């Protein structure tokens, strides 16, 4: 069963800030996906993202040195 917060995100009330965000183009399903995760799972996902960003940054720096 979906939580109350999840229902509000998936079916925003007309005229609400959530509806405005949805109309602006914000993908609210991503928020729902994160809310379904435990805090520990969210932390792990953040750590994995940080590792990936660091790897990309390292490749970009190595590539820049090659062309300098």
The residue extents of the domains of the chain are 1-36, 39-68
pLDDT at 64: 75
Q: Is the pLDDT of residue 61 over 90?
A: no
CA end-to-end span of the chain: 56
Q: Within a 10 A sphere around the Cβ of 9, how many other Cβ atoms?
A: 19
User: With bands split at pLDDT 50, 70 and 90, how would you rate the model's confidence at 29?
Assistant: very high
Percent of the chain residues topping a pLDDT of 70: 97
Cα distances (Å, whole numbers) of residue 36 to 9, 25, 33 = 12, 21, 5
Q: Which of 1-10, 30-39, 59-68 shows the highest mean pLDDT?
A: 30-39
């Amino acid at each position: 069963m979906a939580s109350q917060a999840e229902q509000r995100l998936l079916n925003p009330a007309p005229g609400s800030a959530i509806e405005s965000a949805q109309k602006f183009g914000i993908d609210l399903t991503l928020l729902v996906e994160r809310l379904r995760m435990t805090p520990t799972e969210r932390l792990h996902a953040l750590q994995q993202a940080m590792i990936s960003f660091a790897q990309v940054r390292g490749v970009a720096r190595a590539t820049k040195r090659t062309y300098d």
